[in-house]
């Protein structure tokens, strides 16, 4: 049962992942990516990381992808026409990506993952456990990451704002 679920989810995520890459319209890409994220969230549940799965859906599907969509809509980029790339460049992209895959799998194939030493604890993925680890062992990185967020927020606002000098005379008159 779990195996079937795993394969189905894997299949879905790979196919939608490919769709992200090959879809002509950016909107389609976004939608496919959302599906991929859901599939990955399913994998998390299979892995007993329930809280992670929830957060994943909230953050990625709920926030990040919405942001993408907003931007696409706002900028009206929903055009299918993307300037065509060099065919050689495309070929090189595909080949090198597959090469990477081959080498990676080749490299991973020989590697031996040590067996787990501790007994399986299914409650690892629960909020309580994670919270304890996060606020005990990783409290400093946690605080730092909050700073990072703050900085990113400020940066995004600053970047998104029009610089006063860029405002043209006609715009001033409109105001």
Q: Which of residues 18-47 bind another protein (CB under 8 A)?
A: 18, 20-21, 26, 29-30, 33, 36-37, 40, 43-44, 46-47
The minimum distance between CB 100 and another protein, in angstroms, equals: 6
Binding mask 101-140 for another protein (x = CB under 8 A): x-xxxxxx----x--xxxxxx--xx---xx--xx--xx--
What is the total residue count of the chain?
175
- Interface pick for another protein out of 8, 73, 97, 167 (rule CB under 8 A): 97
78 lies in the binding site for another protein (CB under 8 A): no
- Contact set for another protein, span 137-156 (CB under 8 A): 137-138, 141, 145, 148-149, 151-153, 155-156
- Cβ within 8 Å of residue 40, ≥6 positions away: 9, 13, 56
13 lies in the binding site for another protein (CB under 8 A): yes
> Which C-beta is closer to another protein: that of 59 or that of 175?
59
The minimum distance between CB 164 and another protein, in angstroms, equals: 14
């Amino acid at each position: 049962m779990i195996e079937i679920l795993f394969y189905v989810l894997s299949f879905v995520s790979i196919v939608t992942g490919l769709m992200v890459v090959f879809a002509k319209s950016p909107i389609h890409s976004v939608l496919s990516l959302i599906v991929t994220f859901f599939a990955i969230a399913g994998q998390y549940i299979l892995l007993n990381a329930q809280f992670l799965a929830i957060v994943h859906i909230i953050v990625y599907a709920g926030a990040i992808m919405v942001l993408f969509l907003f931007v696409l809509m706002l900028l009206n980029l929903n055009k299918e026409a993307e300037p065509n790339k060099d065919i050689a460049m495309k070929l090189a992209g595909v080949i090198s990506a597959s090469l990477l895959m081959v080498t990676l799998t080749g490299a991973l194939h020989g590697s031996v993952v040590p067996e787990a030493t501790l007994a399986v604890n299914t409650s690892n993925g629960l909020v309580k456990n994670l919270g304890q680890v996060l606020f005990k062992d990783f409290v400093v990185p946690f605080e730092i990451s909050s700073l990072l967020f703050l900085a990113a927020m400020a940066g995004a606002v600053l970047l998104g704002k029009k610089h006063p000098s860029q405002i043209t005379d006609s715009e001033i008159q409109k105001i």
